Structure 1
Amino acid sequence: MQNKLTVLLLILLACPAFSQVGGENVYQFLNLISSPRQAALGGKTITTYDYDVNQPLFNPASINEEMNGRLALNYSNYLGDVNYGTASYAYTHDKHVNTFHAGVTYINYGKFDGRNEFGDATGTFTGGEVALSLGYAYNVPWTNLYLGANAKFISSTLESYQSFGAAVDLGAIYVDDKNDINYGLVIRNFGTQITTYNGEKEKLPFEVIAGISQELENVPVRWHLTLENLQKWKVAFANPARSEQTIDGGVQEEKVGFLANAFRHVIFGVEVLPQKAINIRLSYNFRRAAELKILDQRTFSGISAGFGIRFNKFRFDYSYSRYTSASNTSQFGLMINL
């Protein structure tokens, strides 16, 4: 009973940190934002095809020779005392074999005070999760279509409970060089638990994402439009705080219409001066804004911004994401061209 209570406490504290659909799955940390650039563009951009060695963590089809020898390290002091980070590296063996990618995502939930069913202290415990990924992309001959895959190996420890799992990401990018438009499609976290926490197998946070981006002609701006959670149409929910009392004393729940639900799939971001040594990024995540909105308050939830600076072989990136008036996150990243 004691172990069940402490693990339940850990899960309840950790789940709100992720803006996911319903918190219905295990290994939710797999959908953590992979880098400051990704965060500043809304969190799930999949159409970037350039030097950014962080991008394959979300779309393996983006792996390319321009990433060769680049190492990226990212860190975020997340909500509460939760800390997480990612690392990525790409290596081109030769032009025939193309480029391989390796990545790590980890999260540390911090320390918790354990209590039994009587409220007595039982000591402290911790929780953490990590995923290792290996990725490869393939250019379909005589086309601008790129296909890629990541294999993920997952380890999770919550108090005295452990679980191991495996998953794959499948991605595609089509690069229209003539119009400078990229189209992307990703199937993420398709996998299973190999061992469970307590004998009950749970689903992974499977997700389908589509996107399009374009760098405008004669204007140094690239816009990104991302459609998230396409595997599930109804992602909106009725907020109890917006319910109304009826004449007969009943309660009328908030009605979420077609457009309100549709926009919750949308993320829009822009990157100014994307090819320069200094660039600026800004985005709006519609679902995050709707879910974290506080009634009668202007919190600017859903807005993220950031910048990148390149000097010699180093690139520094920073992002700031707005969640609520009391909870915001900053993410820091360093990329080195080895």
Structure 2
Amino acid sequence: MRARLLAAALALGLAVPASAQSRTQTAFDLVRLDVSARTAALAGPAALASDDPSAAFANPALLTPDADGTVALSYTNLVSDVNAGTAVYARDVGWLGGLSLAGGVRYLSYGEFERRTGAEAEGETLGTFGASEAAVTVAASREVLPQLRVGLAAHALFASLDDAGAQALAGDVGVTYAVPEQGWVLGASVHHVGAMLSSFGTETDRLPLDVRVVVSKRLRYVPLTVSVAGIDLQAGGVRADSSLMDRTLDHLAVGGELALGSSFAVRAGYNGRRGADLRSGGRLDLAGVSVGAGIVLRRVAVDYAFSNWGDFGGLHQFGVRTRL
């Protein structure tokens, strides 16, 4: 029985891309996944002005009054019956000092596994068991100076594997500075600072700390916004035997959004960490590249993203948001 559970746990780790786990072992792969299809198409966190409340997961200071009354839903099919989803709602609370608030839930389901009596696959079947992760989030942001916002987010994290479980409390803190007349947005944030309340095994799992710095620029004569993100900056050089260029790419995510009119946009991006983790055989491929598009139909915005996994295939992510 224990061998079967161990094999299932190993399968869980392989079901999520290596980039989602980073190089820190954690019970909560969920928090490393892109929350929205827009973010996924840009290949990582982007400091883009938006009415999407999901931006609070990239940096809680990106939650703005523009998202007031907006609900956002997303769905991703990862591998086989492994899937993830998110629901977020935002509200501007002026009587609380101009706070913008958001609440959200995320889930990651790994599907079902057969329970057998022995370590061998031929053992007697005793039914099935499941494995999943979930997170409940509350975020808040406020303008403290002209063009300067700060934000906080708190997460309650849960993971289960058969009758075993793990829980944690984590928080994010972020700041953004916008210069709208020049099209600049600068952001910095620290994610997943907290403590494990319980772990699966005797060794305590670690939360996947992530320090980010992001800058975006809307070009003056072309309706293109370019975003460059430094991710996992606390990790230093994660591939010491590689070149300086490779070690730099390990911490970069670059994306662009081209607006084709007021209601349609196309997006593309490249995440260096994902490219390194998912590339096979050292050959040049499109692992780490993401593309997508978004369209606004009256009061409903629909987003789509495809993230290339190289030889492993790719992820399709869908998102929809509307103002209630």
Partner of 2:242: 256
Range moving further from structure 2, 85-94 or 118-127: 118-127
Residue 212 of structure 2 is aligned to residue 223 of structure 1: no
CA distance in 2, matches of 1:128, 1:196: 14
Instruction: Mark the structure with the bigger radius of gyration.
Output: 1
8 Å contact from structure 1 (residues 137, 148) kept in 2: yes
Q: 1:118 to 1:198 in 2, by over 3 A?
A: same
Trace 1:183-262 onto structure 2 (pairs within 5 A): 183-236=186-239, 255-262=241-248
Give the alignment's Cα RMSD to 1 decimal. 1.8
Deviations 1:149-175 (A, max 9, x none): 001111111111012211001111111
Aligned length: 317
Q: Please list every run of 5 or more consecutive structure 1 residues that lacks an aligned counterpart in the other structure.
A: 238-254
- CA shift for structure 1 position 331: 0.4
Residue 127 of structure 2 is aligned to residue 129 of structure 1: no
- CA shift for structure 1 position 290: 1.9
Structure 1 segments of 4+ aligned residues over 4 angstroms from their partners? none
8 Å contact from structure 1 (residues 15, 23) kept in 2: no
CA distance in 2, matches of 1:159, 1:43: 32
SS of 2:108's partner is strand
Residue 106 of structure 2 is aligned to residue 105 of structure 1: yes
8 Å contact from structure 1 (residues 76, 329) kept in 2: yes
Partner of 2:119: 117
Residue 321 of structure 2 is aligned to residue 335 of structure 1: yes
Q: TM-score of the superposition, structure 1-length normalised?
A: 0.89
Range moving further from structure 2, 262-271 or 175-184: 175-184
Give the counterpart letter for 1:73 in structure 2: L
Partner of 1:138: 142
- CA shift for structure 1 position 325: 2.9
Partner of 1:30: 31
Residue 321 of structure 2 is aligned to residue 320 of structure 1: no
Q: Please list every run of 5 or more consecutive structure 2 residues that lacks an aligned counterpart in the other structure.
A: none
Give the counterpart letter for 2:72 in structure 1: A
8 Å contact from structure 2 (residues 73, 86) kept in 1: yes
Residue 85 of structure 2 is aligned to residue 85 of structure 1: yes
Deviations 1:163-196 (A, max 9, x none): 2211001111111223211111110011111122
Find the partner of 1:159 among 158, 162, 181: 162
Q: 1:134 to 1:38 in 2, by over 3 A?
A: same
Q: 1:173 to 1:296 in 2, by over 3 A?
A: closer
Q: TM-score of the superposition, structure 2-length normalised?
A: 0.92
- CA shift for structure 1 position 294: 2.0
Trace 1:293-304 onto structure 2 (pairs within 5 A): 293-295=279-281, 297-304=283-290
> % of aligned pairs identical?
26
Partner of 1:306: 292
Q: Which has the higher helix share?
A: 2
Give the counterpart letter for 1:233 in structure 2: G
- CA shift for structure 1 position 65: 0.9
Q: 1:257 to 1:326 in 2, by over 3 A?
A: closer
Deviations 1:201-239 (A, max 9, x none): 2211111111100000021000010111101112237xx
8 Å contact from structure 1 (residues 42, 267) kept in 2: yes
- CA shift for structure 1 position 59: 0.9
Give the counterpart letter for 1:117 in structure 2: A
CA distance in 2, matches of 1:37, 1:21: 21
Residue 288 of structure 2 is aligned to residue 290 of structure 1: no
Give the counterpart letter for 1:210 in structure 2: V
8 Å contact from structure 2 (residues 151, 173) kept in 1: yes
Give the counterpart letter for 2:119 in structure 1: E
Give the counterpart letter for 1:42 in structure 2: A
